[in-house]
A and B are shown apart, each in its own frame.
Chain A
């Protein structure tokens, strides 16, 4: 790691001010940042440590109107264990949080950090490779190289995948996120956190320099809402998803009244699949229906030389999530 100045803010105002300095990174647990600093992929002059602000920026609360607020610095372990997360609305989020990484990672890793982490593409994460997304070369090396774990849809000039487990469930729940920057406080839909047409030049997220995520908000859901999260991976524990799917389903009697489907680990951003979800509306859950919906979720997929396996597995994962949410 290159030396840096470590800044300890006593308030969010101090943090904002410090974050606005050039060549400055804001960190929570810093798992991904420390990792990338060791690889010399990040060489910030200043690190603003948000951990002293945990009193304001961590924790889960249910507001008077039933909305749930999750502080940006809430750890994945806290999400796994929190009383408010036992509501079936959060089944997907808890599953995604509790199957991320290892106990060691979940004990420190924060929800905002999980969402904002850098892609795990092995080319861009190694200084030795001159890749486009890293700003070190003219092309995406994964596109024609070792791309078993890369994108099968939604890519143009860079085939990285978005690595967050918790982003798909939050998108499926139509969550919002709050940020602060300068004198402004912003609250936006989760879908705006990711570039609409992710290219190599885009970062993983749309935050501006110096913008700090403070909380995630989930609107109170109807009583008939169920969620599920499923993923494929090569090991039972301690592994990245090769494909992931989160669904939100609202049943009306024995028919599906509302549905959202979001895929993870298959594209440079988490991928909502509205056409596939629309096929569920007004129908009774059935294996045949789910087969067709899963096909639609991967319609237009463009796998690379080594990752076509993601299509059949990803479809099975979609069906698994749908079955769990309608059981």
Chain B
């Protein structure tokens, strides 16, 4: 597995980017001007502007609209396509990323709201061939079939492990209750978490 390029231009970002050439790249568009009096709150948009997101330990500049969700920012603007857009309504968990360590539906979070938080996505769990033990255990335990729910499932599993150390099956069920797997591999996901908790990564 290789890291996606940090600053590469993908087909997707090229297509998107070409449509927005000419929009101010200074970042902030002062949309609200008060007539007089007290200080005016900062305001952004509705057009594009640049924000900085801290993703997997690296600060990255990304152009978003105010209506861009964190999921769309990650997938379409930063080429981090691990988090999946499945229901896009917070009902499946496929888009789960960690925001300040907590599993979050990135489809229901505005990218703007993620400024100043620490984001972790499934891409942060491997470096070349060097993968987090949980990923290896997902493979060893055959914890995926179609694999579409897996990135979200993995992020909820990581949070479960980090929060609980050695989670009980009930705790795993509770922590993974926001991730749906249509193939029904829940039992094997739990096996993979259990093996990782017990240090079994070989």
Which positions in A face B, CB cutoff 8 Å?
A: 1-10, 13-15, 17-18, 21, 29-31, 34-35, 37-38, 46-49, 51, 77, 101-105, 107-108, 237-238
Contacts and interface: CB of A to CB of B under 8 A. Distances in A.
10 contacts: A2-B67, A6-B110, A8-B42, A9-B41, A29-B113, A34-B110, A103-B103, A105-B105, A107-B104, A108-B99
A1 B43 contact: no
Contacts of B96: 104
5 A-B pairs closest in CB distance? A102-B178, A3-B46, A237-B177, A6-B66, A107-B102
B174 interface: yes
Given A4-B66, A103-B175, A108-B109, A38 B88 contact: yes
Interface stretch (B12-20, B31-39, B135-143): B31-39
B67 A3 contact: yes
A284 to B, nearest CB: 35
Nearest to A102: B178
Most buried by A among B44, B110, B179: B110
Contact of A51 (B113, B178, B179): B113
A103 B41 contact: no
A3 B47 CA distance: 8
Among A6, A17, A238, residue most surrounded by chain B Cβ atoms (within 10 Å) = A6
B112 interface: yes
Nearest to A239: B177
A7 B34 CA distance: 13
A105 B91 CA distance: 9
A185 B17 CA distance: 46
B104, B105, B173: which has the most chain A beta carbons within 10 Å? B105
B123 interface: no
Interface in B43-61: 43-47
Interface residues of B, number: 40
A60 B30 CA distance: 35
B152 to A, nearest CB: 9
Given A38-B88, A107-B102, A18 B45 contact: no
B24 interface: no
B110 A30 contact: yes
A102 B109 contact: no
Given A30-B110, A102-B178, A107-B104, A4 B67 contact: yes
B160 to A, nearest CB: 9
Nearest to B176: A103
Contacts of A4: 45-46, 66-67
Contact of A13 (B38, B89, B175): B38
B153 to A, nearest CB: 12
B113 A104 contact: no
A238 B87 CA distance: 15
B93 A7 contact: no
A76 to B, nearest CB: 12
Nearest to B113: A51
Contact of B39 (A8, A10, A21, A51): A10
Contacts of A17: 34, 38, 41
Contact of A104 (B41, B42, B67, B178): B178
A49 B45 contact: no
B29 to A, nearest CB: 8
Contacts of A46: 32, 43
A18 B177 contact: no
Contacts of B34: 17
A37 B67 contact: yes
B103 A107 contact: yes
Given A7-B42, A49-B112, A108 B104 contact: yes
B65 interface: yes
Nearest to A18: B41
B81 interface: no
A285 B158 CA distance: 45
B156 interface: yes
